[in-house]
Amino acid sequence: MYLLDTTSTAAISIYALLLTAYRSMQVLHARPIDGPAVSAEPVETRPLPAVDVIVPSFNEDPGILSACLASIADQDYPGELRVYVVDDGSRNREAILRVRAFYSRDPRFSFILLPENVGKRKAQIAAIGQSSGDLVLNVDSDSTIAFDVVSKLASKMRDPEVGAVMGQLTASNPGDTWLTKLIDMEYWLACNEERAAQSRFGAVMCCCGPCAMYRRSALASLLDQYETQLFRGKLSD
C-alpha cells in the first residue's frame, strides 16, 4: 500500500511538473494578438480573393441557424462572398426550409440539402466541391461571427506562406454558470496561448472548427485524407 501511495504521488508530481513546464513554454512563445492601430503594410492593389463560407448544419435550431447566417450576411468584406449552407439530413428539415426560403432572397446564399446524414466532414466536402473561391471559411451553424471577421482573416491570407487562419472564440453565455465560464476561459487559452505558441513555430496542430479559413489550394491537397481519416480503425465523423 505504501509503495502504491508513493508511486501515485510521484506520478502526480511529475505530471504537475510537466504541465507547468508546458504552460510556461506556451506563454513564453505565444505571440501578442494585438497589433498596431495603423498597419504599416503597403496598400493591397490586387483584386480581393473570393471567399466561400461553408456552414454545415445538422438538426440545428432554426433560430440559432438564422442568427449564424445573419452574422455572415452582415460581413463588411468588399470582395466576392458566397455562402454554402449544407443541411446534413436533418430531422427538422421543414424548419430548415423556412430558413432557406428567407435567405434565398440573397443571391450570395446557396443551400445544399443532403438526403441523409453523412457527417460533418462529408457535408463540408459537398460544399467545397460546388464552390470555387480562393479562400474557404468554415463556420459552425451554432456560431455567430463579428462583422469584420472575413475581412480580418482574408487580410492575413495575403501572406502566401499562410495556409490557414482562425478566429478568436468566445462563449456566448460565459456568465451563466461556472461551466460556461470555464469553457470561455478554455477558448481564450486555446487561441491566445496554445495556438499562438504553436504558430511561432509554423506548426499549428488544429484550427478551431467554429471559425477557420483555409487557402483552397492547401485544402484541396488534403481533402482525401480528411474524408478518409480513421480513429481506432473507424472513420472519423
| pLDDT tens column, 137-171 | 999 999 999 999 999 999 999 999 889 999 999 99
Per-residue model confidence (pLDDT) at position 45? 63
pLDDT: which is higher, 172 or 200 = 172
Q: Nearest-CA neighbor of 150 among 196, 211, 104?
A: 211
Tell me how far apart the alpha carbons of residues 48 and 193 are, in angstroms, rounded to a whole number: 30
Q: Nearest-CA neighbor of 56 among 96, 27, 23, 24?
A: 96
Q: What percent of the chain has pLDDT over 70?
A: 84
Per-residue model confidence (pLDDT) at position 27? 66
Q: Domain extents for the chain?
A: 48-167+208-236, 168-206
Angle (CA) 32 38 42, round 5°: 105
Band (pLDDT 50/70/90 cuts) for residue 4 is: low
Tell me how far apart the alpha carbons of residues 29 and 201 are, in angstroms, rounded to a whole number: 9
Per-residue model confidence (pLDDT) at position 209? 86
Band (pLDDT 50/70/90 cuts) for residue 2 is: low
Tell me how far apart the alpha carbons of residues 90 and 186 are, in angstroms, rounded to a whole number: 30
138-152 as b/e: b if 16+ CB within 10 A: bbbbebbbbeebbbe
For the residues 213-224, what does the mean pLDDT come to? 90
2 CB-contact burial (10 Å; exposed 0-12 / middle 13-18 / buried 19+): exposed
Classify domain 48-167+208-236 by CATH number: 3.90.550.10
For the residues 15-41, what does the mean pLDDT come to? 60
Q: Does position 30 have pLDDT exceeding 80, yes or no?
A: no
Per-residue model confidence (pLDDT) at position 109? 97
Q: Does position 36 have pLDDT exceeding 50, yes or no?
A: no
Q: Does position 33 have pLDDT exceeding 60, yes or no?
A: no
Could you read off the pLDDT of 71-98 as tens digits, one per residue? 999 999 999 999 999 999 999 999 999 9
Beta bridge partners of 166: 212
Per-residue model confidence (pLDDT) at position 42? 47
Band (pLDDT 50/70/90 cuts) for residue 114 is: very high
Per-residue model confidence (pLDDT) at position 206? 87
pLDDT: which is higher, 33 or 85 = 85
> What's the grid cell of residue 193?
496561448
CB of 111 closer than 8 Å to CB of 104: yes
> What's the grid cell of residue 105?
432572397
98-117 as b/e: b if 16+ CB within 10 A: ebbeebeeeeebbbbebeeb
